[in-house]
Structures are given as C-alpha cells and as structure tokens.
Amino acid sequence: MSEGGDDFGASSPLIGDKSDNRFKVNFVDQSDPKSGERDRSDTVTSKPDNQSSHHTANDTHRSQGTFHYTSYQVFNTLDYGPKTAFYRRTNNDARPTMEDIRSGKNIKKPETPKIRSDQNTAGSVKFGWIQGVLVRCLLNIWGVMLFIRIAWVIGQAGIAGGVGIILLSSVVTGLTTLSLAAICTNGEVKGGGAYYLISRSLGPEFGGAIGIIFSIANAIAVAMYIVGFTETLVGLLKDAADFSLTGNDQNDMRVWGLIALLLLFGISMAGMAWESKAQVILLFVLLAAMVNFVAGTFITTSSKAVKGVVGYNVEVAKFNLLPHFTEGETFFSVFAVFFPASTGIMAGANISGDLANPSAAIPKGTFLAILISTVSYVVFAVQAGVTTLLSTPANADVYNGSYIPDMNASIYCIFGDYSLPQKNCTAGLLYSMNAMATISGWPPLITVGVFAATLSSALASLVSAPKVFQAVCSDKLFPYIDWFAKGYGSNNEPWRAYILTLFIAAAFVSIAKLNAIAPIITNFFLISYALINYSCFEASWSNSPGWRPSYKYYNIWTSLAGAVLCGAVMFITSWWTALITVVIIVILYRYIQHTKPEVNWGSSKEALKYNKALSFIHDLSGTTIHVKNFRPQFLVLTGLPSSRPRLVSFVSQVSKGYGVMICGDVLTKRYRNPMKYNWNDTQWLLDNKVKAFHCPITALDFRMGANTLLQSNGLGSIKANTLILGYCSKWQTYSDEALQNYVGVIEDAFDLNYAVGILRYNEGLDIANLAGNNVMYPVDAAPSSENLTKDQSEPKIPPTPSSDRFTLRKVPSKESVGKDADGEGGDEEEKDTAAVQNDAVKVEIKSAKSEDIEMNVVEQSRVESPDIAISQYRGFGNGEKPAGTIDVYWLSDDGGLSVLVPYLLSQSSFWSNTKLRIFASGNESDIAKDRFRMAALLSKFRIEFSSVEIVAGLEMEPTPESIKEYESFGFMSASPEATAASEEENSEEAKGELDAKTKQYIRTGELLRLTSTDDTQLIVVTLPVPRDHTPCRQYMSWLESISRNLPPILMLRGNQQDALTFYC
C-alpha cells in the first residue's frame, strides 16, 4: 500500500510527507465544512505553527490551538483510535469486543457521535462556577444568621467564643470541602449533590440513607430561613405601625411564612433561569446591606447609644471578650444555632446536574465562598462585639456627654434583679435581635438585607432539596418514591419533588421558632458532612487504581479528621438529636442492605472488601489448616447451575456459606470468551441466596476440563478439597471412550488428593426439560423460525461421541429439535449422559450475511438462566423440610468425612428435623462390643446421632438374584486389558481382587436395601475407589449395584486425611 492518500480516497499524504514524523498532527482547514462532523471528543492542546493545513481521512480539527483527534474510518477494521464515547457508560457507541475483533464480525463504520444528554443543549441552562456555585454558596451562608443571630452569638459566647464558633464551623466545612473537591475531581459529577457523591463512593446503603436525610434537611432549612424572614417582618410591622394580623406574634409568623413560602415556590417553579436571576438581584441587595453595617459601626448617635451602641470602645471590647451565657446556653448550644449558616457550602454541589463543569466549578466556587464568608462573619462579629453593650435597660441613660457607657447598667441587666420593672433589659447584643440594624448606618437597609439574606437562602434550599430527592428516587433504592423522579422541561425539573418539599417546609414553618428549628438540621448536615469526609478517606485508604482525583491538595488524614470532628460535634451539640439521626441512618442503611438493589457504582467499599479478602488469603497461604478448622470445600460439577437446583441446593446446605462452593461448568466447544456466559448464572445463584461461585471453563473434552478445574480452582488455601458430581444413570448406553471420561474424572480427583462424592436421585437432578420454553438466544446468534429451513430445524446427530454441552435444552422453534438428556446428573452426570453418547443435538443456523454457524442447542440457552426458584427443589421432595433419618454407612475409615458431611447437613435449618443413624461393619459375634466402640468414638467426635447399628455379613456371598442382576449390567469379571496388565506385573491376585470387590459391592447394595426404611430421607455410603486397572464399566457396575432402587444416596469417600478430631 502506498503512502499517498489515493488508497484512502484523499490526494494528500496521510499525516505529512516522509520527512515528517509519522505521527505528526496536521491542522485542518477550517473552511472544510465536513470537519465539524468528525469526532471532537478528545483534545490535545498544542502551540500552533505556521505549517500549511492538510485535511485527510485522519486529520485533526483545530480550534484556537486545540487539536481534536479522529481515527481512520476508511480502513475495514475495528481497531479504532481512542474515543471518549467508548468510555461513557452508554450503549450508543460501544467499543468492539475482543470476540468481534477476533472473528471479524460486524465491521462497520461507527456513526457520528451524538450529543450527550448531559451536554449543553438548546433550551437547557448550565451555570459556571461563579453564578452556579460561588453566588449560591455565599447567599446560603450569608443567610438568616448574618443579621439576626450573629449579635446574639457574640452576646452569649463573647468575642473570643463567637469567633471560635465561626472558625470551628469553617474548619468543619473547610475539611469537608477538601474531601468534596477530591471526590468531585475523580470523575464526572452528575445531579444529586451530596447524595451522588456519597452513594458513588460508599455505595447505595450510605448514599440512599444520606440522600433522604439531606433532602429533608434542605426542606427544613427552607422553613428555618423563612422563619427568620418572618421574625424580622413581624417585629418591623409591630414597631413601625403596631400592626398584627392575628394579635399573636407566632401566628403572624406562621401566616407571613406560608405566604413567603408560596411566593418562593412560584419563583422556583418558573425554572432555574428565573431562580438564578432572582439570586443575583438578592446578592446585590445583601452586599449593599453589609456595606451599610460596616459604615454604621463608625457612626455613633444618642439614639443608638440609648440602645447600647456606643461605638468602638476598649472597655466594651474587654467586657465582651469572654462568654456571658444565659441560663440553659453553652458553647455548643450556641454553635448548634449558628452552624446552619455554614451549611451553604453544598448549595453549588446540590445542583451539580445544572453545572457546565461540576468537577472544576464545585471546588473553586466552594472554597472561595468559605473564605469570603468566614472573613465577613469574623469582621462583623468583632465589630459588633467592640461597639455594642451586651445588654442595657430600655431607654436607659447609658452614656454621658462623651458617650462613655454606663457599664454598671449593663452589668445590672445581666446579673441584677430582673423583677424590677425599671430595669427591663430589652436592648444590647443579648436581648435585641435587631442589634445589627441598630449598629448600621441606615436600619431600613439592614431590614432589606435580612429579607434578601433569608429569602435567597430559602430559595437556594428550595431548589436543592427537590434536586437531591429526584436523584435518590431515580436510582430506585426505596419503594414507592420513584414517582417523584419524573422531570419536566429541558432542565428536567422535578416539579413533583418541589410540591413535596413545599409541604415539608410548610409543616416546619408552623413551628415559628428559629432557635428550635436550627438544631434539628444541624445534625442532619453534620452527618452528611461526616460521610463525605469518610467517603474520601475510604477511597484513599482502599488504594484503588480508579481513585485518581485531579485535586491534589487533600490528605487522607484530614478527611478522617473531618469525619471524626463532625461526629463529635454532633453528639456534643445535642446527643439526643444526634442519636435520633444515627438511628434513622441505620434503619435506612439496613433496609437498603436487606433489599440489595441491583446497582454497581464501583464504590470504595468494594475496593476495601477486595483488599481485605486478598490480605486474608495471603495470610492463610502461609498457614497449614489444622484439622480442628477443617471444613469441606466443594467443587460441584453442575454445568449450568440453574439446570440442577437440587444438586446446588444439597451442597449449599452442607457448606452453609461457610465453606467454598464452586459450581464447575465444562464447555467442550472452543468459545472465545466463556466468561460472557457467567453473569446470568452467577445472578441466578445470588437471586436464590446460594453462596457459591460459578466457574465456566472450555476444554477439548469433559475430563480435561474437569481436571483443569480440579487443579486450578481457588486461591491459596481457599480452594476446593471435595469433588461432588451427579450420578451417570445412562452409563450403559455410553461408548467406552465416553464412559472412561466420566470415571477418569473420579480417578483424577483421587489422584489429586480430593475427596469425592456422587449424588444419585432416582427422579433425576437435571430439570432442564422444565425450562425449555424459557431459553434465550445470544444476541448475535439467535435463529428466528422464519429464517430456519426445514433442514436447518431438523436435529443433526454428530458423528462423534462428544458435545459442546453435556446438558441439552429444548429450543423454541416450530419443530422439536430433540430430547433432553436424562434428568439426573451433574453437568458431569448428564454431561455424561448426553455428551458422551451421541445425544448431543446440534442445529445448523444459516445467515444471509455470514457463513454458516454451527450452534449447540444448549449454548443458545446460555444468555439467560431459566426462571427457576431453588426453594422448589430443596431436598428431594416438593421443597418441604424432610423429617426422618439420614442413614450413614461408615464402612471404610476415610478420615471421617463420610460422617462429617451428613452431620453438617443435619445441622442446616432445612434438614433439622432429621436424625443420623450410623451403620458400621463388624463381626456378628461382637456386635455389642462393636456398637459400643463406635458410639464411644462418635461421642468423642461430638457427633450427635440417634442410633448406632453394626452391619454384619458384608463378607458373605451375594444372593444369586443379585448376581444375576449384576450380570445384566454387561460386566462381571476383569477386562482383558486389566488381565494383561496384571500378568505383566506378575500379580495373579489382581483379577481375583476385582472379583472379590465386585461381590463385596453387590453385597453392600443388598444390605442397604435391607436396612433402609420408609423414614430414610438420605443414604450416605462409602464410595468405592477405582483401582489403577479397574475397567470403567466394572466400576460403574459397582456403583449401580450399590445405589439402585434406593432413596437419594450420596456415595462419598474422603481422601484418607483426618476430617475429625477429638483433641482440643
């Protein structure tokens, strides 16, 4: 291929001439009308040079020195260059899978990227960091406390204590903002504010709980700010015109509060654009009022001095420096009243979905708002403290001609006799809520500033609460609230959530007491901030590679300090309110934890779990498991787990979630990615509360795949030690090669030092035939009935005794495509049944667009597991708890596993109504002694049992009828191969040993059928061990002789290592 552009439909070189760097980026001619249609998602900034422009198939786009890369779409390839769209969690522009690339399927040129829904589109409003974050935070922080309560705070805590309260609040919010900045810059931030940040960091449990709490807190904050507004309004009307609506101040506050709430509700419903414009107007009014206050501190008049405002005075400053708490007030009770002023730091984050660039805007705007508001609060607090007396009697003469304050009058107000009518103290920092207006140059402007501060904060909270609640509802973590998630208009406004917020705020407006409302929301905000800090700490502690915040000025320990500080302040401020808050959080947390919502947000909790699990596995790897801590760990050859729920349920009742259980699944066709089938099978296990791992594996044949599972399952000491598989009931119809595969798995397991168990249930373990019509096809290979010709829908019998899956399923088509395998085994049990004997049904599917595809019937069912509830298949009946006995035939000492497994089974809640009957071999002449010895051994092992029976006569010859029945299996003596091998080894006893073993197992089956009763729910008997030269058909004849015509039976053999001990 030449280097010129002709091969690609372009006349100029691909990326410059030969002398240039091959990967040099050229400029695109801006006059090219098609350039705007190309992918502009990934950009690299560079200083432009004077090189001429070339626009080719892989040119970049330039805009003010920014290069936008696109990939070569003229190649017939799926190897695209890096695209932002590939990293978005959307299916609109998905990256090709490795299977697509390997197979060369579905090669097509991707569509032009569409504008994302979260990008700025026509009609929607997106704010920058000033209007969206800085202004909102300042208006929320400069709220009701600025002009109504800051003087009271100084009066109670003194200048030193008041400044301390302000700085403590700023430390809490500053540490929280550090954590907030780190989380915000660790990826794209969407709508939901604190809820989104916490839920995506700590998971849905904490996130959902905080989302509800934070929404309610913002709704209550609306009421708090409106109550502050009405408190000023009612006082103003009373002082100016002696006007009252109802004759009662509190009732007047309720009426005016509801009117103000409805007006603000109307503004918020008008949309974010109108709300934002109103905020800007209120900000200018508030700034004018603040300037008016600062100017007023330099103006002293007789009218102001009468009310305790005497100008800058050293004596006043000294007296006001220390706290003068009134009855019932403490430092932290005053802090609880003031702290809601600091909660405005979340005003910008709460509308993160309406910000143009939340990750950059939130940290920048929030930090600047904290700095400006802290400085302003400290300045106002100090100015109020050095210019105004704590208290003074109304209309008292507190100054002489030089405006020297009468400190005695002020002291008398604080410590004197309040019962004296002439000493009625209503002025000063402690007793006048209008002290800030008195200090100012023009009091009416302060009143307007109070209105601006309170109404702007109320408006910001009125917008924040519905936005956060909408995000919670959208994630469907709680039932019955997703109705509130619906949005309207281009900005997706949550009008339904606005109405809910209106009712909550109205309920708290009716309290009409500012100091009663403020402590309620203080704890709600504090616990939200505590969890934001903890989210950052946990994310840092987890060392997850995905934790890469671009904001670097945070520290893991400052985050932890912020979380601890918030928690401590919560309980110090009001322990009972903190306790109620924690209880609410715990209840919501436990609810979400119980319901297990189907969300995966990549929380730091997952990363920590991984770290802990890995650490524990490493620790165990260097430790030899003591026999006291031995537990059976199961590798269960189930195939598709949902096709054998009885086998899965049986083993899970033994492991009970405390031991490893791996559902092995061998696929004998070469699939490029067998793990893509794993998800739905794993989900089926989770849905049925089975603590097990599904492990699919591909191999050339069943034995090879099973052997791989035996050798490679688990990690370190966390691996299986017991193999469980289903009984191969149709073994007599198998070819020798297929049957040797099945028996070979058992031999391999023993060779690898595994214990082995084979479960037989006469009605079958495989229920795949029940789910035939529930089969789902893979997306890329689903045949439609109209596309199948008659020949294609006919079952095709393969010429070799192997199949791609050992369990067959019905395929929904116009015609039946074959029968399922016998419903009994484990994927290995029936895997066997179907696979090995030409029962594998294959369907050839022809596509008009590609070459013929040969699909196995079962593989068409891999995408979605059947809708089968495991509760219907617990035990071996109709799912009801069995009552009776578990008969344990401990005929050979295998280390005790043959007794331990049924004991563990009897301890499960499902098998709790069953008792163990222990059978052991012995001599007829010593039955009593053998029974006593066995009972004593079991007692030392602390195994509970109902009875011990001694089985005598195992050495006797089996009956002629049993021998005749055994002969019908088609095998009686050693095979020629085994005989030849024996002769080579000069071992004449080998053949005789096999014959003796045969008679022993025939006799064992006779005794099992003789001693079992109608109450026998399960039989556990020692599994025969196949010898090196035991023919596979002879071995299967042994198993058939032992297990036929019996209740459900588990043939189990330990690996000759201790599974029980009677030592401490």
Helix (H, G, I), strand (E, B) or coil at 192: coil
pLDDT for 709 equals 94
pLDDT for 396 equals 52
CB 808 within 8 A of CB 840: yes
pLDDT tops 80 at residue 747: yes
Looking at residues 963-975, what average pLDDT do you find? 72
pLDDT for 697 equals 87
pLDDT tops 60 at residue 618: yes
Looking at per-residue confidence, does 365 or 12 come out higher? 365
Taking the C-alpha atoms of residue 555 and residue 540, their distance in angstroms, rounded to an integer, is 9
For 640, the token pair is 């598709």
Weakest mean pLDDT among 7-11, 113-117, 320-324, 473-477: 7-11
pLDDT for 407 equals 53
pLDDT tops 80 at residue 855: no
Taking the C-alpha atoms of residue 208 and residue 913, their distance in angstroms, rounded to an integer, is 41
**How many Cβ atoms from other residues are within 10 Å of residue 395's Cβ?**
11
pLDDT for 593 equals 86
CB 1050 within 8 A of CB 722: no
Q: Tell me the pLDDT tens digit for each residue of 371-407.
A: 999 999 999 999 999 998 887 765 555 444 444 455 5
pLDDT tier for residue 50 given thresholds of 50, 70 and 90: very low
Q: Comparing C-alpha atoms, which of 852, 890, 637 is closest to residue 744?
A: 637
pLDDT for 677 equals 59
Looking at residues 153-182, what average pLDDT do you find? 92
pLDDT for 867 equals 55
pLDDT tier for residue 168 given thresholds of 50, 70 and 90: very high
pLDDT tier for residue 558 given thresholds of 50, 70 and 90: very high
pLDDT for 92 equals 53
Q: How many CA atoms within 13 Å lie on the side-chain side of 615?
A: 7
The one-character DSSP state at 437 is H
Tell me whether residue 420 is exposed, middle or buried, using C-beta atoms within 10 angstroms of its C-beta: 0 to 12, 13 to 18, 19 or more.
Answer: exposed
Looking at residues 845-857, what average pLDDT do you find? 31
CB 214 within 8 A of CB 528: yes
Q: Which residues of 717-753 are buried (b: 16+ CB within 10 A; e: fewer)?
A: beebbbbbbbbbbbbbebeeebbbbbbbbbbbbbeee
Taking the C-alpha atoms of residue 825 and residue 817, their distance in angstroms, rounded to an integer, is 21
pLDDT tops 90 at residue 72: no
pLDDT for 77 equals 56
pLDDT for 777 equals 28
Q: Tell me the pLDDT tens digit for each residue of 937-952.
A: 988 888 888 889 888 8
pLDDT for 406 equals 52
CB 692 within 8 A of CB 716: no
pLDDT tops 60 at residue 562: yes
pLDDT tops 80 at residue 845: no
**How many Cβ atoms from other residues are within 10 Å of residue 51's Cβ?**
12
Q: Tell me the pLDDT tens digit for each residue of 331-375.
A: 988 998 888 888 778 878 877 777 888 888 888 899 999 999 999
Looking at per-residue confidence, does 478 or 859 come out higher? 478
Looking at residues 239-261, what average pLDDT do you find? 88
Q: Which residue has the tokens 């195939």?
A: 639
Looking at residues 631-637, what average pLDDT do you find? 93
Tell me whether residue 789 is exposed, middle or buried, using C-beta atoms within 10 angstroms of its C-beta: 0 to 12, 13 to 18, 19 or more.
Answer: exposed
pLDDT tier for residue 262 given thresholds of 50, 70 and 90: very high
pLDDT for 210 equals 85
CB 308 within 8 A of CB 428: yes
* Nearby residues of 401 by Cβ (< 8 Å), 6 or more positions away: none
Q: Provide the Cα torsion 30, 35, 41, 42; round to 10°.
A: -60
pLDDT for 521 equals 83
Looking at residues 727-756, what average pLDDT do you find? 91
pLDDT tops 90 at residue 672: no
pLDDT tier for residue 294 given thresholds of 50, 70 and 90: very high
* Nearby residues of 50 by Cβ (< 8 Å), 6 or more positions away: none
pLDDT tops 50 at residue 49: no
pLDDT tops 50 at residue 924: yes
Taking the C-alpha atoms of residue 316 and residue 1029, their distance in angstroms, rounded to an integer, is 107
Backbone angles phi, psi at 963, to 5 degrees: -65, -40
Looking at residues 215-243, what average pLDDT do you find? 87
Q: Which residue has the tokens 């010898």?
A: 1027
Q: Tell me the pLDDT tens digit for each residue of 896-907.
A: 899 999 999 998
Angle at 1061 between CA 1055 and CA 1063, to 5 degrees: 150
pLDDT for 87 equals 67
Average pLDDT across the chain, whole number: 75
pLDDT tier for residue 291 given thresholds of 50, 70 and 90: very high
Q: Tell me the pLDDT tens digit for each residue of 692-723.
A: 999 988 888 899 999 999 999 888 888 899 99
% of the chain exceeding 70 in pLDDT: 71
* Nearby residues of 200 by Cβ (< 8 Å), 6 or more positions away: 207, 601, 602, 603
Looking at per-residue confidence, does 209 or 7 come out higher? 209
3-state SS of 748-761?
A: HHHHCCCEEEEEEC
CB 214 within 8 A of CB 176: no
3-state SS of 356-408?
A: CCHHHHHHHHHHHHHHHHHHHHHHHHHHHHHHECCCEECCCCCCCCCCCCCHH
Looking at residues 103-121, what average pLDDT do you find? 50
pLDDT tier for residue 663 given thresholds of 50, 70 and 90: very high
Q: Which residue has the tokens 């706290």?
A: 323
Q: Tell me the pLDDT tens digit for each residue of 576-611.
A: 888 998 999 999 989 988 888 878 787 777 888 888
Backbone angles phi, psi at 916, to 5 degrees: -90, 130
pLDDT tier for residue 956 given thresholds of 50, 70 and 90: confident
Looking at residues 247-254, what average pLDDT do you find? 90
Looking at residues 439-463, what average pLDDT do you find? 86
pLDDT tier for residue 827 given thresholds of 50, 70 and 90: very low
pLDDT tier for residue 674 given thresholds of 50, 70 and 90: low
pLDDT tops 80 at residue 46: no
Q: Tell me the pLDDT tens digit for each residue of 1008-1047.
A: 998 988 899 999 999 999 888 888 999 999 999 999 999 9
Q: Comparing C-alpha atoms, which of 156, 168, 134 is closest to residue 377?
A: 168
